[in-house]
Amino acid sequence: MKKEKTLIMVGALTCLNLSVSAQDSLKKKELNEVVITATRSEKKAEDVGRSISVISAEEIKNSGVSTVSELLARQEGIYVVGAGQNPGMTSSIFMRGANSNQTILLIDGVRITDPSAINNAIDASELSLANISRIEIVRGSHSTLYGSAAIGGVVNIITRKAQKPGLSVDATVVAGTFGSGTSEISENIYVDYALKNGFYAGVELYNTNVNGLDATVDTVKSPATFKHSDMSDDFNKIDYVGKLGFKNDKFDVYASYKQTHQLTDIDQSAYRDDDNYTLDFNRSLITYGASYKFNDKLNASYIGGFTKMKRLAVDDSSVVDALGTSNSTYNRGEYEGAVLSNEVQANYTMKGLNVVLGAGMYNESMNVNTRYNSVYYNDTTSLDSIKPQSSTSNVFLHTDLGGELFSSKLNWLTLSGGLRMSNHNVFGTNVTYEINPSVKTSEGGLLYFSYSTGYNAPSLYQLYDPTKYTTWDMSYSTGLSRGNKKLNPESSKTYEIGFKQKLGNINLSVAYFKTVVENVIEYVYLWDKNIGIDTLGQNWFRDDYRGDTYINAATMTTEGVELGFSSKINEKFFVSANLSLTSGKLSYNPDDIDTSHTGGNHVQVFSNGAFMTNKNVEVIGLTRRPSTANLSLTYLPIKILSLRADVRYVGSRADATYEPTLGPYGAQGTVSVRQYTLLDVSANVKIWKGLSAGARVSNVFDEKYYEINGFTTRGRGIYGNLKYTF
């Protein structure tokens, strides 16, 4: 067994990430695939001078995974924390080493966020595989086309439209287990009816019910210690989707509605179980769009969306001893957010020229109401009087200039570039741009370079949180709020050079990137400027603390190399692989501190405990940004049978942990989390026309590993499925 695991690890490290597709998805790769996200216009994938991936509906079906998080985790340059943990656990997307709130997620081109979250990042666990036509991924800064947060990259989930005329049905049932006492069952049914004149309507229902693992690691081994834990953290999720549309040679009009509801058992924190803590999440999402093709050169379109979400976290009392004593506490938090987005754009295309011109509005709002009750203390907070909200207007231009526009001898050259001007109601105007030349080096070969700037707006919480520090006896307050309306957006510069080559049935890609993000927003403690740092907190008769807040404090540098490979070896054997090597650091300069906000007090960065008042500080390594590799193989021994193996390697990395020795109050330290390698195998067989069955074993060797320190991951999983399509 150990020998087999070692061979798998070596294979993953050397060329790695075999991400194999089934026969239909490999056939797709042989075609001139068209993508839209990279340039906001239709363009052949091999002609795009950026690092991109497209995951088709067939690839999703044949992948064997049950969540978007698991699917994205197989792509180069992406690490999804939470993808392998207990279902429903928070999933965060880290692309190219960027922070989790620096990758933009779109549904049909409409940005989806969580305005009530501290950093505005979406929890990827809310995303199901329901109603997906394909997923397009563009790596690297893309703020010129998509605005705030597109520093690490863009993930665009494109939903289904009309299929063939008549009735179409797609139904799937999956059931399995992934550890002792666990079970998972999900059902998905999609029904579409299309008329020959172009009208269509589709509805979909996705439901999953999980009896899960204890999500936290239990470190209490003494049998004499009282424990009243819930050994099973359950998860229940249901999505309803409806879509209406009309499409012909001139028009493409649609409107869709999606309702997501999920209920999750959660815990206090790493290593700290809680038997009465639940998170109830609801999101309503409306997207709509219309486009009109004037002629072969000019097209105009309009897209928009509105989403409203609500998270309700309730932590009721727990029994704390064998006598049945309760801690008599009740904690309730209600978090609401809403986003409205509307954009118009025009596309003009002719030989050697493609122009995209657009404008839009983006509005966010949020509210928070919390209540804490105990025998000794009661507290409530509310943002009802503040009503945090922000609005951003923008105009953007993107152009592809082909050398053939000037001379047929220059058809090997393309120069792409763009410019966006955004105006935010708090920090004002922001300009981003990109320059992207590419050269066709040979038949099927493309060498490209990209320089792009990006930005990430402060979240509503970081801008408006009204929390203020006051001494316990109410005798002193700095008047400083945690929220900081003086925050500037995080700004980035990204350099990328890459090469793509198609040689028959072989596809190769390599890319190097470097991103520097300035004005990184940090949560910090403030300490009395009149007290020496070495003596802070040592005199209990004085108050050294001056509160906490958010400031622009750091410069983050990330760089890495990505390799990709896919090949159809023959009619029965397919292989694909990728490797991502990533490194990063944080730099702090005291000259960058806005002393008018901090009052000149000592500044301690919570994320690493560093005091940045008197000297430059550099922190090597970023938490939860490992190097990764993926390998996938597909074998078709007979026409009706498909066999698949997927190997995923994740390198060692630093994770966050609370360290009480870092300053008077402690701060966030780091702990090393070891590398791991996982093997999944699956088989699918066609039973009858439209009917197929499959089996999957995930984490074959029952590897014990961690994605987040202190939280468990799924063990060996055994799943079966039935699919019917007509």
Taking the domain 2-725, which CATH number applies?
2.40.170.20
Would you give the DSSP letter of residue 458? P
Distance from C-alpha of 281 to C-alpha of 516, rounded to nearest angstrom? 35
Q: Full-prediction pTM beyond 0.85?
A: yes
Largest CA distance in the chain: 88
Residues contacting residue 657 through CB under 8 Å, at least 6 positions apart: 270, 668, 669, 670, 671, 709, 710
For residue 198, how far is the Cα from the chain centroid?
Answer: 34
pLDDT of residue 477: 67
CA distance 91 to 16: 24
- End-to-end, the C-alpha distance of the chain in Å comes to 43
Q: Which amino acid is at 665?
A: Y
Give strand ranges (E) for 25-77: 34-35, 43-44, 52-56
The predicted pLDDT at position 227 comes to 74
pLDDT at residue 677 in the model: 97
Contact between residue 457 and residue 147 where contact means Cβ atoms under 8 Å apart: no
**Rounded Cα gap, residues 217 and 272, in angstroms:** 8
Report pLDDT for 325.
84
- Predicted pLDDT at 444: 87
Q: Average pLDDT for consecutive 10-residue bins of the chain (726 residues)?
A: 36 33 39 80 89 90 87 94 91 94 95 93 90 93 94 94 86 94 95 94 96 87 74 92 94 96 91 90 97 96 97 90 84 96 96 95 96 88 90 97 90 95 94 97 93 96 89 64 94 97 92 97 93 87 89 96 94 95 95 91 92 88 95 94 96 91 87 96 93 96 94 95 92
For residue 319, the 8-state DSSP code is: B
The amino acid at 580: S
- Distance, in Å, from the CA atom of 71 to the CA atom of 153, rounded to the nearest integer, reads 16
253 C-beta neighbours (distance < 10 Å), count:
17
CB 174 within 8 A of CB 130: no
Looking up tokens 């198609």, which residue turns up? 502
Q: Are residues 196 and 172 in contact, defined by beta-carbon separation less than 8 angstroms?
A: no
Question: Which pLDDT score, from 0 to 100, does residue 24 have?
Answer: 41
How many Cα atoms occupy the beta-carbon half-sphere of 205 within 13 Å? 5
